[in-house]
Structure 1
Amino acid sequence: MAKRGAYAKGVVKREEILEAALEIIGQRGYRSASVREIADAVGLSPAGLLHYFGSKEQLFVEILRARDEHDSRQFPDAGFEESLVEIIRHNAQVPGLVELYTRLAAEAGDTEHPARAFFLDRTATVHAAAREAFLAEQRAGRIRADLDPEWIIRAGHALADGLQNAWILDPSIDMAADIERFFTLLRP
């Protein structure tokens, strides 16, 4: 029974850490926020904080996972296209998380990096949802029937990620508007 209580407390503390990290990194940035600052926000030492994640890299992966879970709850069931545009619009409000995502996405190219499995799983999940939505829209006649869903999904994903990279360099770019233009090109 004691293990159960300790486990439950550990889960709660881990969630507290992720909430603090989302806020701190979202507003201050990946490079400006330190493990010490996140640890201080939740009353832990840096070593104590990393105990919950194993490593700094795994902490960052879990921050991105938590960000995705928040986005899913904040922008539910509006339809794939609408949800994606709203998430991208929201991303402009949390520049540090966009920076963290782009950095870890690049580092995930290393087969040994802790973020690799996260990005592979995330891509499979996002592409499956996009495929389902795309095919439903094609059947309903709202997306051109001559378009190959797999190619459009890859191109759309590359566009979204590329826009985030460009936006980091030039925050005047309206990522959501560019994604909306892309969806317009898919219509009959």
Structure 2
Amino acid sequence: MEPKPARVRILDAAHELMLTVGLARATTKEIARAAGCSEAALYKYFDSKEELFVRVLTERLPRLTPLLGSLAAEPGQGTLAGNLTEIAREAALFYEQSFPIAASLYAEAQLKKRHYEALHKLGAGPHRPLRDLDAYLRAEQAAGRVRADADTYAAASLLLGACAQRAFAYDAIDAGERPPADEFAARLAKTLLGGISVAQPPA
């Protein structure tokens, strides 16, 4: 079996370390050591830890951003219910897997600020899914499938906020477990559609 390319090993090591010790404590030195390469070799593939973080999110986690981009580019495809269910499913899984990685940032305000500034320079950040889902809903609004008076930004915030809550808070409820992503996504999409769709979904 051929050894994995260095870039793949670095991404694998970064993903594992970010999950286990958190983004704040996963240094490039530790990532390089876990990948079996030098820190200088890591910087041949990635300009910064922030870029490495973005690549972990886009290449190792559920592909939420590409899904939103493709739907916004071609509104009117599929059903609104089906599209929102798929978005909710991908978002639920994305936040479930990314929350343990990014949570450590929120303990240090200055670190979070520096990290967000670096992400903005890369055209990334936690605002991207919200912006992209709003763009998709506005495209559907223009296509006549979302009510003209619907607040698309609020709708996007409700859907993504619920997905983030599933990752953050559902473990604390009495049952102590998250609902399966497919079931959660279907319920969430149906509820949201009741408020924004032109044709109300059947009960």
TM-score normalized by the length of structure 1? 0.60
SS for the counterpart of 1:147 is coil
Q: Deviations over 1:75-107 (max 9, x none)?
A: 755756514513533665x4xx43112333x25
SS for the counterpart of 2:33 is helix
1:31-46 equivalence runs, <5 A = 35=27, 38-44=31-37
CA distance in 2, matches of 1:111, 1:98: 16
Match of 2:113 in 1: 113
| Cα distance, 1:86–1:64 mapped onto 2, change above 3 Å | same
Higher relative contact order (CA 8 A, sep 6+): 2
| Aligned: 1:19 with 2:20 | no
1:26-65 equivalence runs, <5 A = 26=19, 28=20, 30=22, 35=27, 38-44=31-37, 59=49, 61-65=50-54
| Cα shift at 1:111 | 8.0
| Cα distance, 1:143–1:103 mapped onto 2, change above 3 Å | farther
- One-letter code of the match for 2:86? E
- 8 Å contact kept, 2:134–2:152: yes
TM-score normalized by the length of structure 2? 0.56
| Cα shift at 1:134 | 0.9
The percent of aligned pairs where both chains have the same amino acid is 19
| Cα distance, 1:72–1:173 mapped onto 2, change above 3 Å | closer
Unmatched 5+ residue regions in structure 1?
1-11
Q: Deviations over 1:137-175 (max 9, x none)?
A: 334555444420111122333322232222565761127
CA distance in 1, matches of 2:157, 2:95: 20
| Cα distance, 1:150–1:50 mapped onto 2, change above 3 Å | same
